[in-house]
Chains A and B, each alone.
Chain A
């Protein structure tokens, strides 16, 4: 058995371009294949030359698994499969398979058409990449090949987000992707069974945060939006097209309904509208409440939220606009931001995590003067608000997941190094298991020793408990088992030694010992036997003792003791046992000798 080896190509002590290589039981897997939003050069993609210096990866990887559709988890996929080259299977859930190509196309457009980059993947490449994908269902055990098995669990981070259980033989790894342990307005909570993997690779975005209750944050968010529009301000909410956007829409929709507000809410056109269709069709992936009520009313049919048009941005009066992308790193949200950032009454609410280097990150860090790509410097006068709505597990959630699946080792990825250190100590303390947080390119090796499966004959398995002293089966206690392990080529079976010899064509040579002791004693034969019984009862208490009608005693069904009259005052004690019971037999002999000094 070899160790499990893991190397992060991305997301090692970092957030962005998640890409983790796992070698388990002779199989190599790539978990996620994301891009980094903080970079525009070659650093935006994982360094695939680590796997193969030059040329395609097909021969080096057994499969690729994508946990969810966020670009930092799938953004490099067409580059990897079409430009570097990979023809093996790519697994993802149905919703991910449906939504991922749309986000990739959107990403490609921004990069190629807006930023004018060449040497980027094309629409055709996205299509041919998606042809290599195989859809997974939740909890379905997929046999990638004869040995490699994968299974998806609900992760609750975005629609279709999954945690992946990977198994080869007895070794197993769980990769969480991004997950959320508390149900929100449209998704359920992540859940995994007690699968006891050798290694749990978990995200740790909020490694040090313990967030207050969701209700408080929601109330806070609604209050901020309401106050801003009351004052006549415009509210910009940069979001990713799918996920948080739907949750916040449900939130605002119900609030607007309840408060009878008339201020327009817009949703940036096209992509997001289409996104809502996906939510309608993948209702089975949302939370229980939405599932239960979808026949009467599909939650994703919004009444108050209208599609956005660019000209609306210049309309007077208050409004709320959801626009993509979520970190203000380009696209419509950045355009609107530039228009509105000078207005003091306006507000931008960042509902999620921002990767360092993005404009979202800069304003959240308090920068009020921001340099744009064209060297133009803009001043931010609008109010900047941060709401932690991104659906990642917090420290409590991560600990909860560890408790759920009971891993032997934990590895932290998708987080910041210092925060990881804190969580690492906590995991060490609370669970007493090793915790790793490798940097990109750093290998972690985990020793995973497991039992070897062997066939055991039922005769042997069922015969043994009958020998226990009490005579009652004791299923909970461990018991001693003697057998012969027959190894024929690769197959191993454990049988009764005599059965094994018969099968192997070996003629057993049975060996028995008989020793006779003469003891000088006045007791009758029966009294003597009774004495011996008492001795055995004390000194061989783990064994069954039986006295048959002729007075002979049998211990553990194997050693026979018989008392008979030899002379007037002498009794002869005969002990007989087989070679297999040599230990017990010779021991009993010794005991009798100790108890009866006259014995010879």
Chain B
């Protein structure tokens, strides 16, 4: 069994697993951290971002790059349409991939690159919410990038990394980075997804079964379990043991795996999500009380729903119930509509509301009472209706494109406003860097509900897998916190680790396969008991294999018999079952054999001692029987006699 690691980002995984003749891809994520190297795309041409000074390496021999690079507050940015790092799809021939299993909507963002730009022909499985919410994430991303008027492309800088200052200098293989796909790519790519439900068992060529089980991380998020009759491989992607809106994580099906692949642990190991959501509410409320506006860069689903819920009830308790919440995204309406219809994928508390029947999320009521308003963008009526102070939820969390860029420009100048970071994907200092200098307050409340290291270690103990496979990064403390030695996967589990573009051979040994024994054949068996509770029987049958399923049925002469001789010597046309070959065991008593031969009339059979054993000699027939500890060799050219000896020998030994 081999595991190919196509991604180096621990929370944006992509693997390929080869096992039992099948090739299975696990997730297909897009690494968005590259965005931070790019200059933000303003909604309106002109303004501060266009006036930033160019930057060019001073070193002799370097090409001029001030067309492509800009400097802002001591950092260098690429002035170009943003680019993304896609999984290493050239590590193998993508046409060999049979199945792609998607865990959650964060882990499918590179799907169009796979389905539209490689020769991938496999089946893609994802849950229904993952498909629909994933589509919204993709459409939002594409919308944000395409709505910006000027689209520059820069590539010269990629060939001169050595001359560039960090962090741009450390960019990994930027020549492989890609521009975002098109809307058409999204549609055609997502059309290839087959929807699955939690605990729905999908057969992969009869060799394996793939089952998604709830992972508690997002609506419709799952962990995948691959089972054969003798092995179990569990793949943990974004997983949460906290109680938020999605259906809770299901642990028991993951127990006792042979291999547990664990990725996507928390990106913010030091932050407790409960504390951070509390801080978020308090910080937002403080700003609002002082008449300032709050800007929350967010994705169109996920934690955003929890933020609506917590913030609105917090504002109620402190008497700020009248403050409007604005949710601005090209997919805001769809996201909110979908959240109402996925009761089956939600926590039991939210689910039971539907039985009343009431919408599962409190934001439905916020919308009805006009406290939460949503807009597709800034032009459609929003500017007329906006009231200050207010809270705006909008994307993109990288602060490189989307409406958030506009709000930073208009609200950034005032220190009474606050921007609160909640998404864990981007460091806030890096995200803000090209927008400096800013006067607005900055609050960093990253909320990552994924497993923390202590939760992960506890979970491993509970699940008790034979082997753990984790990214290399999880075996050493985070670079920024080298003294936090507890922020690792416990070394006592001896995790097998991987880096980007590595191929791991996983320690799974296949010894058995399942076979269906025909009941009629089973009835014909005559088992010999070797010891109490232990029996053995010789079994001959006709093996039929279809779709990797094996079946043993009774074999008959002459049709299935190997002794299919030509016409004249063909025994009888009668159909009779094939007999099993005989195996003998035990210690042979030479004298018993001799006596038996005597009884059959071979009076001149004589035992002679030779080194390593005996010889029984039957001079009258010129027959010799060589006997040692473990074998007997009968040299006899008379068929009648040979059969007699055979019978005697079989009598003297045990057979199966």
B335 CB to closest chain A CB (Å) equals 9
Residues in chain A near residue B357, CB distance under 8 A:
98, 274, 277-278, 281
Alpha-carbon gap, A528 to B656, bound state (A): 38
Alpha-carbon gap, A140 to B333, bound state (A): 30
Say if the beta carbon of A514 comes within 8 Å of chain B: yes
Residues in chain A near residue B511, CB distance under 8 A:
457-458
B151 CB to closest chain A CB (Å) equals 29
A454-465 near B? 1/0 per residue, CB < 8 Å = 111110010010
Inter-chain contact A509/B585, CB cutoff 8 Å: yes
Residues in chain A near residue B583, CB distance under 8 A:
484, 497-498, 501, 508, 579-580
Q: Which of A229-237, A316-324, A533-541, A563-571 contacts B (4 or more CB under 8 A)?
A: A533-541
Interface range for A: 35 or more
Q: Which residue of A lies closest to B515 (CB)?
A: A456
Alpha-carbon gap, A589 to B396, bound state (A): 85
Inter-chain contact B639/A456, CB cutoff 8 Å: no
Alpha-carbon gap, A512 to B581, bound state (A): 13
For A454, give its contact among B211, B515, B533, B584 (CB under 8 Å): B515
A310-333 near B? 1/0 per residue, CB < 8 Å = 000000000000000000000000
A116 CB to closest chain B CB (Å) equals 30
Say if the beta carbon of B50 comes within 8 Å of chain A: no
Alpha-carbon gap, A458 to B517, bound state (A): 16
Say if the beta carbon of A475 comes within 8 Å of chain B: yes
Residues in chain A near residue B553, CB distance under 8 A:
478
Inter-chain contact B632/A509, CB cutoff 8 Å: yes
Alpha-carbon gap, A455 to B200, bound state (A): 25
Give residues of chain B (292-316) contacting chain A, Cβ–Cβ below 8 Å.
none
Say if the beta carbon of A369 comes within 8 Å of chain B: no
Inter-chain contact A284/B584, CB cutoff 8 Å: no
Give residues of chain B (541-587) contacting chain A, Cβ–Cβ below 8 Å.
541-545, 550-553, 555, 560-566, 568-569, 578-587
Give residues of chain B (461-518) contacting chain A, Cβ–Cβ below 8 Å.
510-518
Inter-chain contact A517/B637, CB cutoff 8 Å: yes
Given A494-B515, A516-B637, do A504 and B642 touch, yes or no (CB 8 Å)?
no
Say if the beta carbon of B603 comes within 8 Å of chain A: no
Alpha-carbon gap, A97 to B343, bound state (A): 12
Say if the beta carbon of B341 comes within 8 Å of chain A: yes
Residues in chain B near residue A139, CB distance under 8 A:
196-197, 200
Residues in chain A near residue B542, CB distance under 8 A:
478-481
Q: Which residue of A lies closest to B537 (CB)?
A: A485
Q: Which residue of B lies closest to A459 (CB)?
A: B511
Say if the beta carbon of A507 comes within 8 Å of chain B: yes
A57-89 near B? 1/0 per residue, CB < 8 Å = 000000000000000000000000000000000
Q: Which interface residue of A284, A461, A481, A511 has the most chain B CB atoms within 10 A?
A: A511
Say if the beta carbon of A433 comes within 8 Å of chain B: no
Say if the beta carbon of A183 comes within 8 Å of chain B: no
For B630, give its contact among A489, A510, A540, A582 (CB under 8 Å): A510
Inter-chain contact A579/B581, CB cutoff 8 Å: yes
For B653, give its contact among A97, A274, A478, A509 (CB under 8 Å): A509
For A458, give its contact among B333, B510, B654 (CB under 8 Å): B510
Inter-chain contact A542/B515, CB cutoff 8 Å: no
Inter-chain contact B565/A481, CB cutoff 8 Å: no
Say if the beta carbon of B631 comes within 8 Å of chain A: yes
For A451, give its contact among B338, B551, B585 (CB under 8 Å): B551
Inter-chain contact B642/A482, CB cutoff 8 Å: no
B613-639 near A? 1/0 per residue, CB < 8 Å = 000000000000000001111111101
Say if the beta carbon of B459 comes within 8 Å of chain A: no
Give residues of chain A (567-600) contacting chain B, Cβ–Cβ below 8 Å.
579-584, 586-587, 589-591, 594
Residues in chain B near residue A137, CB distance under 8 A:
197-199, 344
A165 CB to closest chain B CB (Å) equals 11
Residues in chain B near residue A508, CB distance under 8 A:
583-585, 630
Residues in chain A near residue B191, CB distance under 8 A:
none
Inter-chain contact A512/B631, CB cutoff 8 Å: yes
Inter-chain contact A281/B562, CB cutoff 8 Å: no
Given A455-B514, A511-B632, do A541 and B564 touch, yes or no (CB 8 Å)?
yes
Say if the beta carbon of B649 comes within 8 Å of chain A: yes
A487-525 near B? 1/0 per residue, CB < 8 Å = 111001110011011001011111111111100000000
Give residues of chain A (112-137) contacting chain B, Cβ–Cβ below 8 Å.
135, 137
Given A512-B631, A513-B634, do A98 and B198 touch, yes or no (CB 8 Å)?
no
Alpha-carbon gap, A540 to B513, bound state (A): 31
Residues in chain A near residue B177, CB distance under 8 A:
none
A263-280 near B? 1/0 per residue, CB < 8 Å = 000000000001001101
Say if the beta carbon of B318 comes within 8 Å of chain A: no
Say if the beta carbon of B337 comes within 8 Å of chain A: yes
Give residues of chain B (261-312) contacting chain A, Cβ–Cβ below 8 Å.
none
Residues in chain B near residue A461, CB distance under 8 A:
513, 515, 543, 550
Residues in chain A near residue B340, CB distance under 8 A:
280-281
Q: How many residues of B contact A (CB 8 A)?
A: 92
Say if the beta carbon of B539 comes within 8 Å of chain A: yes
Say if the beta carbon of B201 comes within 8 Å of chain A: yes
Residues in chain A near residue B30, CB distance under 8 A:
none
Residues in chain B near residue A487, CB distance under 8 A:
527, 534-537
Alpha-carbon gap, A274 to B356, bound state (A): 9
Alpha-carbon gap, A489 to B646, bound state (A): 34
Inter-chain contact A515/B636, CB cutoff 8 Å: yes
A91 CB to closest chain B CB (Å) equals 13
Say if the beta carbon of A294 comes within 8 Å of chain B: yes
Inter-chain contact B631/A456, CB cutoff 8 Å: no
Say if the beta carbon of B241 comes within 8 Å of chain A: no
Say if the beta carbon of A138 comes within 8 Å of chain B: yes
B553 CB to closest chain A CB (Å) equals 8
Given A139-B197, A507-B630, do A484 and B582 touch, yes or no (CB 8 Å)?
no
Inter-chain contact B543/A451, CB cutoff 8 Å: no
Inter-chain contact A497/B656, CB cutoff 8 Å: yes
Inter-chain contact A480/B540, CB cutoff 8 Å: yes
Given A284-B342, A501-B585, A510-B631, do A488 and B565 touch, yes or no (CB 8 Å)?
no
Residues in chain A near residue B587, CB distance under 8 A:
507, 509
Inter-chain contact A478/B544, CB cutoff 8 Å: yes
Alpha-carbon gap, A458 to B514, bound state (A): 10
Inter-chain contact B197/A140, CB cutoff 8 Å: yes
Say if the beta carbon of B74 comes within 8 Å of chain A: no
Say if the beta carbon of B128 comes within 8 Å of chain A: yes
Say if the beta carbon of B354 comes within 8 Å of chain A: yes
Alpha-carbon gap, A101 to B355, bound state (A): 9
Give residues of chain A (437-493) contacting chain B, Cβ–Cβ below 8 Å.
449-458, 461, 464, 475, 478-489, 492-493
Q: Which residue of A lies closest to B546 (CB)?
A: A476
Say if the beta carbon of B588 comes within 8 Å of chain A: yes
Inter-chain contact B634/A539, CB cutoff 8 Å: no
Inter-chain contact A453/B517, CB cutoff 8 Å: yes
Say if the beta carbon of A283 comes within 8 Å of chain B: yes
A59 CB to closest chain B CB (Å) equals 26
Residues in chain A near residue B196, CB distance under 8 A:
139
Residues in chain B near residue A277, CB distance under 8 A:
357
A500 CB to closest chain B CB (Å) equals 6
Residues on B lying within 8 angstroms of A by beta carbon are 128, 196-201, 211, 229-230, 333-334, 337-338, 340-344, 351, 354-355, 357, 359-360, 510-519, 522, 525, 527, 530, 533-545, 550-553, 555, 560-566, 568-569, 578-588, 630-637, 639, 642, 646, 649, 653-654, 656
Residues on A lying within 8 angstroms of B by beta carbon are 1, 94, 97-98, 101, 135, 137-142, 274, 277-278, 280-284, 294-295, 449-458, 461, 464, 475, 478-489, 492-494, 497-498, 500-501, 504, 506-517, 538-543, 556, 579-584, 586-587, 589-591, 594
With A454-B515, A587-B569 already in contact, 6 other A-B pairs whose C-beta atoms are closer than 8 Å: A135-B344, A452-B516, A478-B544, A484-B539, A485-B539, A517-B637
- Show 23 A/B contacts (Cβ-Cβ < 8 Å), sorted by A: A94-B343, A97-B355, A139-B196, A140-B200, A141-B211, A451-B517, A451-B519, A461-B543, A479-B543, A482-B581, A484-B538, A489-B533, A497-B538, A497-B583, A504-B536, A508-B630, A509-B588, A510-B631, A512-B632, A513-B634, A540-B565, A579-B583, A579-B646
